[in-house]
Each structure stands twice: as C-alpha cells, then as structure tokens.
Structure 1
Amino acid sequence: MNFKYLIFPVLLISSFLTKAQETHVLTNPVLSGFYPDPSICKTGTDYYLVNSTFAYFPGIPVFHSKDLSHWKQVGNVISRPSQMNFLGDGVSRGLFAPSISYDKGTYYVVCTLVDHKGNFVVTATNPAGPWSNPKWIPEVNGIDPSLFFEGDKAYIVYNSDAPDRKPLYEGHRTLRLYELNRKTLKVKGKEILLVNGGVDITKKPVWIEGPHLFKHEGYYYLIAAEGGTGMDHSEVVFRSKNVKGPFLPYDKNPILTQRDLSPGREHPVTSTGHADFVTGPDGKTYAVFLGTRPYKGDYYNTGRETFISPVKWLNGWPVITPEHTAIKDSYPVTFPAVPQKGALPMNGSFAYTIYFKKVLSSQLLFLRTNNESWYSLAEKKNQLTMKLLPATCMGTGNPAFIGKRQQHAIASATAEMDFKTLKENEKAGLLIFQNEYHFYYLCKSIDKGKTVIQLYKGNEAGKNMELITQSSLNGGKDKIELRIDINKDRCSFFYAEQQEDWKLLKRKLDGKYLSTKEAGGFVGSLFALYATSSGETTKNKAGFSWLKYSGQDDL
C-alpha cells in the first residue's frame, strides 16, 4: 500500500476533530425524560446535579459533568432502604425538590419527604456516595429547602405557609429563612420571613417555591419559582444587601417563563421554572431549570425535564429569557466539550441496550423502597431473574417492577423474556407506566389452559386491570420478545415468538392517557419489566436478558 495517499484524509480528519473540539453546544434538554426540579453545584472543574424522584427508589440521582452538556449518573443520594421508606406513598409523593451544595470539603443535599417527617439534610465527602442517613429538621415547616453558606455561617431557605397560617387566597405561600448550626445541622435563632406571597401580593401570586440564595457583587440574590408547575410556571428574582432581607423584587420579573409565547409555535418548551444558577467553565452564569416538551397543546408523557440556558446580567439583575424569548434547542459556548466515558446518552436522539450482568444500570428504578431480594443477577448468567410477587403496580407497595424513564415523545422499548406460564394469576412482561391508575401492560399469561399474550389497561379505581385484547401463543416456547412503541399520543404493542418476528397485538391506543394532563401528578412515564402473581403466593420467576430503548427528538 502507498501510504502517501492516506495523508490527505488523515489531515481532513485531524482538521475536523480540531473544529469539533472548538465547537460545543449545550443541547436541550440536557437531561431528557423525567428529571424534574434540578439543582446544581460546582467544585473546581466538576459539576454535580440532582433531581426529584418522588416515590421511586433509589432516590435523588447524582449526575456529574465537566462541561454542563455531557452528564453521567455517578450515584444516588437515597440508595439504602435504611435511609428512607416510600412504602405506602403514591407515585407522586415521596421526595420533593432536592438541593445540592458544597462547602469546605462536604457535599450537602437538603430535601423534603412529604407526608412523613418533612425536611432533612444528608452529607457526603464524595457526591457519588455513600450519603449519610438523614438528619431531620422539624422546625423547617414547608418544602423545597436550600442551603446557603457564607464564611462560618450557614442558612436554610424554604417554601412555607402564609403568615399565621391564614392564606389570603389559594396558593398563598411564603419564603422563609433559618440560620443553621454547621456542626449539628440544627436551626438556630428565629425564623425570618423573606417573601410574602411572591413578587406582588396585591396580584395574588401563587406557589412561590424552590428558592435558592447566592451572593453576587455585594448583593444577596433570592431566586424562586412562581405560578405553579403548569403552563404558568416562571422564575422570579429578589435581592438585598442583607442575607436576612428585606428582599426587593426585580421590576421586570419574571426572569424566566414561556407562558406569554404563542401556543402554536413549533417545538414548544413550556412550564419552565424551578431554576438554579451555576458559574460555567467560561466564568459566565448558567441556569438549569425544569421544562416540558408537549405535543398537541399541553400533553406530555415524558414528565418535566432538565433544561439549561445562559444567564444575562442586566443592570445588576440575572435574566434567563430577556423579553420572555423562547428557550432554544441549543446554545453555543466557547469552552470545550468533555464527553463522559461510559455514560448513557441523555439528550438528542439515541438508542442503547441495557444488559443484565453484575449490577443493575443506574438508569433503572424500583417502584418504592426495595426492602427484599426478589431479583437476582447471579441466578442465571447474563439474566435478570425476578420473582413473581403478590404486590401489583396498582398498590402502594414494592412490586416486582424495574423501570427506565421514557425520554422521548417518540420512543420504543423492547425486552427479551424467559417465562414459563403456570397459572392464570401469574403474569410477566413489559409495562408502560405513568402511575397506579394509568398504564398499559403487555404480558404473557394463561387463559383457560392456553398460553396467551395479553394487553391490559389500568383504571381510575386502581384495583383490577382491564383486559383490552389477547392472542394465543403457538410456539410453546418459554422465551418471547415484547415491544412497546410510543408516538406521542399513540401506543402500539407487539410480540415475537421468534427473534424479531414481530406480530402486532394492538395498534394506536390512546397515549394521552399516559400524559400528566390526564394522569396528574409530577412524574413521567417509565417502561418497566414487571412480574406479578396478582395477590397470591408463588415460587414462579421470570427472566429478562436485556432491555432495549430507542427514542428520537421530534424534529
């Protein structure tokens, strides 16, 4: 071979790589799918971000990045059953709005366990974990706590009740502050009221929440969400010369919202708010915040996602969307991209396969705290073996359920399952799950002595699934492949008795049924491997070899 003919292509590739390294964009959403309520902190050149997980376990994923664009999950804050129990909680209860911060060698996460003990703080010297058991802060009455450190002092700011617990209108809330003892992590001194109602209480602002404090050029800034988590969601800002106030609002609030834009615009991002700020590698300010990507108005099945945007400082005030402009699909930046080795993709169109080897992928979730060993990765090589549990996804226990988030409006999940059907009450298969009442279940079972593939739907009663259709299986084999395709408001269901020899079971069922608008709550849909004995006891098990996911942005 004459190597002189390879010089020009090599130079082209080298030139291309150099330009690729110089060109970097932040692609929205940076975390696609159900990753709401982002909070971020910086240590040196490292960024760490956390999100709400509600009643799913492990709780509060921890992501790491070097460039604000490529994120890799490195751990979970609530990773041990001994830390916290979500049994008995509805899917959208549990953990609300964590906030992560760093000071003097220690990482802190504060959060709210609603309906139970309330607010707590956990610590770690490594954000990948392990994190401490929670220290409860009963004096902090409310939700969405956040820490602020200055010198030897620490403060906790949070959403709380109206003054004297006498709201003037629906959604009347306050922002309050306590000083915190750094060693004991207990409050000290008196509670201080920072904001009553919101930017302008005469206009009856609702649901002031998700506060964060930071200092910039001599001012203390207090940012918070306002307007609720729906289409009217926004972010507002106040500032003061004193950490304890008084805090005055920016006269051009809100600093982030999409509610004033035309609902007919292409590829809208809506419901933006619940922001947190961080300094980027270029020394400029960036905001992470939640948003949604709806179809046909206000329908979305993917939940609230994590977005990012540069922050502009205008006359001493930070603004995310000047003149309420639209959130962009991407933002060019001058600092280099730093891809994460071994990370699963988190934005754009992508596909990957989760294989079941020695440990479960960090992308996977249990439905509530997993207190028992009903699954195994060691019983059979390269297989996830799941016991059929009496608990069902319609209850508030811990069923045999292992799920991953739906991260695109157009998505597909496929699983290979090895399951010998024995009784009619025993079922195993693939679930698309929004909550206890809104799901579709594609499963293998027995009906009148015959092995069948069945499709069920949840219902508002939350007790018995509704059988939509079923089909007899002819091959007599235990192994089968299952597939669920989602195209916005349409769901289609397939099965294959031979590898990828797909047969349609049901096409274009209602996908809006899985949307937040119809299902309610604060979560997004999950594809889940699910096996149940429907309230009875059995020794039967189901095995899964892999779970494939693919999704594309609606371009």
Structure 2
Amino acid sequence: MRNIIITRSFIFLNRKIKRLLLLLVTIFLCARMMGETIIPDSISNPIRTGFHPDPSICRVGEDYYLVTSSFTWFPGLPIYHSRDLTNWSLIGHALTNPKAIDFNGMTDNDGIWAPTLRYHNGTFYLITTAHGCGGNFYMTAKNPAGPWSDPVWLKDAPGIDPSLFFDEDGRCYYTGNRWDFKSAWPAQCAVWMQELDLQKRCLVGERKTLAYGHAANAKYAEGPHLYKIKDHYLLLMAEGGSDYNHAVTALTAKSLWGPYVPCTVNPVLTHRHLGKDYPVQSLGHADLVQTPTGDWYAVFLGKRIVEGGLVPLGRETFLCEVSFQNGEPIFNPGIGVIGNRLKRPPLPWTPVSKTDKQNDFESSALSPEWATMRIPEQPFHHFADGNLFLSLRPEMADSLVCPSMLLRRVHSHNFSATTTMSFSTRRVNEWAGLVLYRTAKGYYSLLKGKNEIRLTKVLLGKKTIIATLPWKEKSVILRLVAKGATLTFYAGLSNDMLYQVGEVQSVDAVSDNKVNRFNGTGVGIYATSNGKQSINKASYQWFEYKEEN
C-alpha cells in the first residue's frame, strides 16, 4: 500500500513538473512572439548592406521594388521587394540569360552599371549600361520577379547611366550622360535627353543637353533621374565622381525641355564637407519614391569606413526622407547628414522571412543569393547525396573569365564564413577551398592542395603565399572570421578543433583601392586546376555565412 502511495505521489509530482514546464515554454514562446512583433521607431542604415551600389527604386501600389548594379556578377541585376522600405527580400534577377551578354575579358569594374527601374501602364522597365560589353539597353517584364525580356540594345546612345521618364502624356524619354565633346573644364560631362519610341524600340526626335552639372566647374555629372512633381520638372543627378567628392544635385524646370535651373540648396546631399574621417562617405546617385500617403524618400549609395580608412564592403544602399521647400528637395530634413540609424518610414510594418545562413546543399539548386563571377560557358557544379561538387577547371580567380567559384554577398564588417569540404589530389596544381573575393586583383583564398592548406593574398594584383599548414586528411573545415579591418583564417577537422592559419590579416586586399573601385565583396567556394585540364572535383557538405555583433 505504501509503495502505491509513493508511486501515485511521484506520478502526481511528475505531472506538476510537466505542467510547469509547459507553462514556462508557453510563456517563453509568447514573449518571443511579442518581441518579434514590436515595431521599432528607428531602423538601420544602410537598408541594403554590402555590395548594392547605384540603387533605383519604384513603387506600384503598396509594393516597392529596388535594383542595384551588379557589374560582372551573374545572374545580374538583383531585384528586391519591400512593403515598408525597411524589410527587403530578393525576388529575382533581371539578367538571367547566359547568352544575352558576354563578360569574358571584362574587369570586375566593368559590366552592368547604374540601372534604373520604372513602371508604366502595366509594364516594368529596366534600363542600364553594359560597360565595355555592349553599351546601353533596356528590358521589360510584367512581373518584376521575372521573367524579363532579353536586352533591347539602343544604338546611338552614347555615355552611361541611362534612365527613363514617362511624362503625363505617356511618352517616354531617355536621359543619360556623355563626355564625347570638347570639354570646357576637367571632367565635364553632359546630361542629355531624347525621346524613346517603345514601339520602334529606338531613340527618335531631337536630342538636347539639359545640364553640365549644378555649377560652372561641376565634375562627372551622371546618374540623372527626371521627375514631374506638381507643376515643375525635377532633374536629380550625381556629381563629383563616386568617391569622397560624390554628391547629389538638383535642377528644376517649368517645362520638360528646360531650361533647368540649379536649386539654391545644392548639393542637396553630400558628406564631402565632413572630411575623410567621417564614417559614412561618398553619398550620391539618388533616386526618389513617393509613398501612397504623399511622403517622399530617396535611396542612394554610400560607403562605410572601418579602421584605417578601409572600405571592404564597397558601396551600399542608404535611405532618407525628402521634403520639398519652394519646390526644391531637402534630404533628411532637420538633420542633413546620414548616420547609421534613421526614423522608420510610417508604413505598415512588414517583416520578411530571413535568408538561411547555412546551406546544406540538400536541394538540387542554389539559393538566389549565390552568383558566379562572369558567365559560365558550361556548368561547373552539381548536387548529389547532399553535397555540392565543384569541378576543377583551368580557369583561376585571377583570370578575366568565369572560374569554378560561387559567391554570395558579404553584408557586414563582422562575419564568419565556414565550409566543410572533402578533396584529395596527387597533383600540385589542383586546389579547392574557401575564397573572399573583391576583384581578380584583390582577394584571399584558403585552399587545400596535395599535402597542405595554403592561405594566399592577392593585393593590387600581387600574389603572396601568407602561410601553409601540413594536411593529409581528405576532409577539412575551413573558416574565415572578419572583425572590422581584420581577417583570421582557420582550418581543422571539427568546429571544436580549428588551427589558425597564418597571422591576422588586413581587409586591405578586398577594400577600395585603385583596382577595387566600384563593385563589392563576396565570400564563397572555389576550385581550380591552375591552367591545366582536370577531371577532379571538390565536394562541399555545407556552407555557413554568419554575421556577428
């Protein structure tokens, strides 16, 4: 009888513990759900971190769409969607046809420059420059996620940075910049306009220069966007070059063809007056969008500086409010400068699903965050048994062709990238592993070869073997950790037993310099047979990109 009482008491106590645990779990889940639904008063700036230069934006109903330059990354022209100008998701790419363009031989600073995204009468229009590989073209789509048409190349459209403007009568006008004339001062550029006949798919009628910039000695007038706001036309443009002197200027006119008069508040946005030590630099290349309630916002590019004045992420997409005073745009009114926080736009809070930071390669396709450098002439990767296989090919990261390399954008100054790889070879020319890549003349690689792991740095085109680690195992875990201006590389058999490879390195190899100028940094996996034919492959079990605080 006593044993029965003890047993019943134990069962009763056990039930109370279970109920208590269930209550605690319920409280935790409810608190977490409540925490996730707290709407912040301010948001982080930039709104698209990492490699996202030359942003262009348009609104259709309550939906906002954003596109940025992609240079020689493929697929190109990433399209992002948001409903609150804060939470963005990648919904597709406009340039997906590998036969539509040829990036071979192009430097990493060439390729797709400065797109403009517009919507008119049920159709999305995207116009851009293929610098060094074709000139200016536009594409169309009914759905911004795709599919997009093949490029419509525009003959006799000199210069770069094309944009489209649809006037109230439905006619379409092309604006762009050019410098093929005798200049009156150094770096003088002209912003010009001509009608684009969308039925004939060509420029027609008169061509007219609208401006050479906002001042008598303005340099690099480019990135023009034209708007009709109430009873006047607004011409917004970038000036000063995409570096410390970058700026946004504005001109207005009473009629479409001008004359365009510089605004009295020019430049309407810049940080060049704050000095080179200011943490956010090179603001420019802005595009405007109006919310359904009539508020105006601008997206524009900028650079964030880390220790030593380095810029490892390249140009990113920032946001600020814009108001109008006597018809002239005031950027970030009451504040003027751009910081790392801004007041949240008063739009319905619409969070999106976060992208998986780890790829287990269980599916038969890469997630849309992955890209190749230039366009592969034939597939070099495949999936099998939960692994991703890279074929070793003669092409190298140094070559101006497509190597066996898969990259994803780096979004933070503080991150780690880790992969597990199986690879063996008897040849000294075969290597596979991890890569941090900015250009063919600026990258780090942590690769496994015949009997060792090798850390290599390429800075301004000069290749240096930093360190080697003896390694005869077939499998290895490779990791890099970025903290501000420093990088640390590791290798080992497990996450709990990793060996540091070489000394702590600087991010200078992937930061802005005279060859790393316009694009941004990617991290990923890479395999090569260094100029020789090979049938070997490297197998990757998983890859994790993780941002740190």
- Normalising by structure 2, what TM-score? 0.91
- What does residue 526 of structure 1 align with? 522
- What does residue 160 of structure 1 align with? 178
Residue range with higher mean Cα deviation, 315-324 or 538-547: 315-324
Match of 2:307, SS state, is: coil
- What does residue 546 of structure 2 align with? 550
Q: CA deviation at 1:209?
A: 0.7
- What does residue 13 of structure 2 align with? none
| Residues 257 and 321, structure 1, Cα contact 8 Å, conserved in 2 | no
Match of 2:358 among 353, 358, 379: 353
- What does residue 467 of structure 2 align with? 469
Amino acid in structure 2 at the alignment position of 1:269: V
Match of 2:439, SS state, is: coil
Q: CA deviation at 1:514?
A: 2.0
Q: CA deviation at 1:354?
A: 2.5
Q: CA deviation at 1:488?
A: 2.5
- What does residue 442 of structure 1 align with? 446
Match of 1:513, SS state, is: helix
Q: CA deviation at 1:368?
A: 0.2
Match of 2:449, SS state, is: strand
Written as runs of structure 1 = structure 2, the 5 A alignment for 1:276-287 is: 276-287=287-298
Written as runs of structure 1 = structure 2, the 5 A alignment for 1:227-376 is: 227-261=240-274, 263-264=276-277, 268-296=279-307, 298-322=309-333, 325-328=336-339, 329-341=341-353, 343-344=354-355, 352-356=357-361, 357-376=363-382
Q: CA deviation at 1:390?
A: 0.2
In structure 2, relative to structure 1, the CA distance for the partners of 1:471 and 1:18 (3 Å cut) is closer
In structure 2, relative to structure 1, the CA distance for the partners of 1:472 and 1:86 (3 Å cut) is same
Match of 1:502, SS state, is: strand
In structure 2, relative to structure 1, the CA distance for the partners of 1:18 and 1:423 (3 Å cut) is closer
| Residues 270 and 283, structure 2, Cα contact 8 Å, conserved in 1 | yes
Written as runs of structure 1 = structure 2, the 5 A alignment for 1:386-405 is: 386-405=390-409
In the TM superposition, what whole-angstrom CA distance separates every residue of 1:106-146 from its partner, at most 9, and x where no partner exists?
11110001123210011111111111111111221110001
- What does residue 536 of structure 2 align with? 540
Equivalent-residue separation in structure 1 for 2:141 and 2:326 (angstroms): 38
Equivalent-residue separation in structure 1 for 2:191 and 2:359 (angstroms): 43
- What does residue 115 of structure 1 align with? 132
Aligned length: 528
Equivalent-residue separation in structure 2 for 1:10 and 1:500 (angstroms): 30
In the TM superposition, what whole-angstrom CA distance separates every residue of 1:130-172 from its partner, at most 9, and x where no partner exists?
111111112211100010112320001111126xx10123211
Amino acid in structure 2 at the alignment position of 1:275: A
* Residue 212, structure 1, aligned to residue 210, structure 2: no
| Residues 278 and 287, structure 1, Cα contact 8 Å, conserved in 2 | yes
In structure 2, relative to structure 1, the CA distance for the partners of 1:161 and 1:381 (3 Å cut) is same
Amino acid in structure 2 at the alignment position of 1:252: V
Equivalent-residue separation in structure 1 for 2:376 and 2:36 (angstroms): 47
Match of 2:233, SS state, is: strand
Q: CA deviation at 1:468?
A: 2.0
- What does residue 3 of structure 2 align with? none
Amino acid in structure 2 at the alignment position of 1:544: Y
In structure 2, relative to structure 1, the CA distance for the partners of 1:127 and 1:24 (3 Å cut) is farther
| Residues 513 and 519, structure 1, Cα contact 8 Å, conserved in 2 | no
In structure 2, relative to structure 1, the CA distance for the partners of 1:195 and 1:148 (3 Å cut) is same
| Residues 283 and 303, structure 2, Cα contact 8 Å, conserved in 1 | yes
Match of 1:40, SS state, is: strand
* Residue 411, structure 1, aligned to residue 415, structure 2: yes
- What does residue 384 of structure 1 align with? 388
- What does residue 214 of structure 2 align with? 199
Q: Which runs of 5+ in 2 are unaligned?
A: 1-15
- What does residue 6 of structure 2 align with? none
| Residues 415 and 548, structure 1, Cα contact 8 Å, conserved in 2 | yes
Amino acid in structure 2 at the alignment position of 1:228: G
Equivalent-residue separation in structure 1 for 2:156 and 2:333 (angstroms): 38
Match of 2:86, SS state, is: coil
| Residues 260 and 324, structure 1, Cα contact 8 Å, conserved in 2 | no
Equivalent-residue separation in structure 1 for 2:150 and 2:208 (angstroms): 28
- What does residue 159 of structure 2 align with? 142
| Residues 434 and 519, structure 1, Cα contact 8 Å, conserved in 2 | no
In structure 2, relative to structure 1, the CA distance for the partners of 1:500 and 1:92 (3 Å cut) is farther
RMSD: 2.4
Match of 2:452, SS state, is: strand
Match of 1:224 among 223, 228, 237: 237
Match of 1:98, SS state, is: strand
Equivalent-residue separation in structure 2 for 1:489 and 1:18 (angstroms): 32
Equivalent-residue separation in structure 1 for 2:92 and 2:502 (angstroms): 38
Match of 2:128, SS state, is: strand
In the TM superposition, what whole-angstrom CA distance separates every residue of 1:148-205 from its partner, at most 9, and x where no partner exists?
112320001111126xx10123211010001011222211102111002x1012xx11
* Residue 187, structure 1, aligned to residue 203, structure 2: yes
Q: CA deviation at 1:344?
A: 2.2
Q: CA deviation at 1:335?
A: 2.1
In the TM superposition, what whole-angstrom CA distance separates every residue of 1:12-53 from its partner, at most 9, and x where no partner exists?
8599569724x4534211111011000011111111110101
| Residues 413 and 549, structure 1, Cα contact 8 Å, conserved in 2 | yes
Equivalent-residue separation in structure 2 for 1:55 and 1:292 (angstroms): 20
Q: CA deviation at 1:282?
A: 3.9
Match of 2:493 among 493, 497, 518: 497
| Residues 32 and 407, structure 1, Cα contact 8 Å, conserved in 2 | yes
Q: CA deviation at 1:499?
A: 4.1
Equivalent-residue separation in structure 2 for 1:9 and 1:416 (angstroms): 38
Residue range with higher mean Cα deviation, 41-50 or 519-528: 519-528
In the TM superposition, what whole-angstrom CA distance separates every residue of 1:452-511 from its partner, at most 9, and x where no partner exists?
11111225456xx432221112xx432211011122322211001234411111131222
Rg larger for = 2
Amino acid in structure 2 at the alignment position of 1:233: H
| Residues 24 and 337, structure 1, Cα contact 8 Å, conserved in 2 | no
Amino acid in structure 2 at the alignment position of 1:470: T
Match of 1:199, SS state, is: coil
Equivalent-residue separation in structure 1 for 2:433 and 2:292 (angstroms): 45
- Normalising by structure 1, what TM-score? 0.90
Written as runs of structure 1 = structure 2, the 5 A alignment for 1:480-519 is: 480-517=476-513, 519=515
- What does residue 45 of structure 1 align with? 62
Q: Percent identity?
A: 32
Q: CA deviation at 1:519?
A: 4.1
In the TM superposition, what whole-angstrom CA distance separates every residue of 1:336-386 from its partner, at most 9, and x where no partner exists?
210123x428xxxxxx21232222121111010122111112xx1221111
Equivalent-residue separation in structure 1 for 2:207 and 2:338 (angstroms): 37
Equivalent-residue separation in structure 2 for 1:443 and 1:481 (angstroms): 11
Equivalent-residue separation in structure 1 for 2:423 and 2:292 (angstroms): 51
